[in-house]
Amino acid sequence: MSPFNYAKVSSESSHEDSLEQQQTHPEPGRLAGWYKAIEKFQFLRWPVTFFLLSVILFCELSILHKQPTSLQLGDEINHIVPKFSMERKIFHADDSYASDHKTMASINATKQRWKDLMPRGGGFLDVPDYASHTLPPPMHFPEAPGKEVFTIAVFHELHCLMHMSAFIDKLVMKIRNKDLTLDEGALGHNDHCFNYLRNALLCCGDTTLEGQAQTPELKDIAGTDGTGAVHVCRNYEEIAAWAEKKRFTDSKGN
């Protein structure tokens, strides 16, 4: 026999249970009334669902619209300048951008190589509606009346390197000729360029890993000259072509 027994329920307790069930369940007439009310408004189910989903979608799009657009390193934040393609580039040693520091022929040829890197217009462009963007005050040149002038940073950076190269050449030639006079204006410009290029380098923060120097005269000496590593770069030719298209002058600058 099973050790578990079912106790017999008396007729009195059964009667009480049936009374409780009658008291807790709604009357059939009232229940039917609720069903009729639900059926009356059932046709609104899908329109209400569609409305609520539309409200949720609108809220999500509003949140996304308020979020800042993702920017790549070195992007122009106002989207006046377009995005350019990226490329992998290996740095190689190139002595053509340094003169022999002895002859004017070599110095002038070197300066021309630097100038050839600059697009026509020197990277300067007119932004008539500059006040509607997040921009510093524009430049105003007498030779370009009415123009709200801005420049693309990479061309300013190249200009500074070109100036520093020319400044060193001029200084070395003076020393060779026993000329101890100093161009204070050029020295001040040089100081500006050092500070500007420092900011540019710290901003861009190139994290390419560089190894042993690849140039023959340095390959047996522990150290790097920056050659041989693959860098991720913007396509400079595309930037220069766009700058030329937007130029308002044909000058390449100094």
Interatomic CA distance for residues 60 and 65, integer angstroms? 9
Query: What residues does each domain of the chain span?
Result: 33-67, 104-245
Note the pLDDT of residue 123.
96
CA atoms within 13 A on the CB side of 222: 0
Note the pLDDT of residue 1.
42
Note the pLDDT of residue 9.
40
Interatomic CA distance for residues 235 and 243, integer angstroms? 13
Mean pLDDT over residues 79-107, rounded?
A: 94
- Please say if the pLDDT value at position 105 is more than 50: yes
More confident position, 7 or 147: 147
Interatomic CA distance for residues 28 and 47, integer angstroms? 31
pLDDT single digits (tens) 182-232: 999 999 999 999 999 999 999 999 999 999 998 888 878 899 989 999 999
Contact criterion met (CB below 8 Å) for 121 and 248: yes
Please give the structure tokens belonging to residue 115.
């100038």
- Please say if the pLDDT value at position 172 is more than 70: yes
Whole-model pTM over 0.75: no
Note the pLDDT of residue 34.
59
Average confidence score pLDDT of the chain: 84
- Please say if the pLDDT value at position 127 is more than 90: yes
Confidence of residue 135 (pLDDT cuts 50, 70, 90): very high
In the chain, % of residues over pLDDT 70: 77
Interatomic CA distance for residues 120 and 9, integer angstroms? 105
More confident position, 75 or 16: 75
Note the pLDDT of residue 36.
66
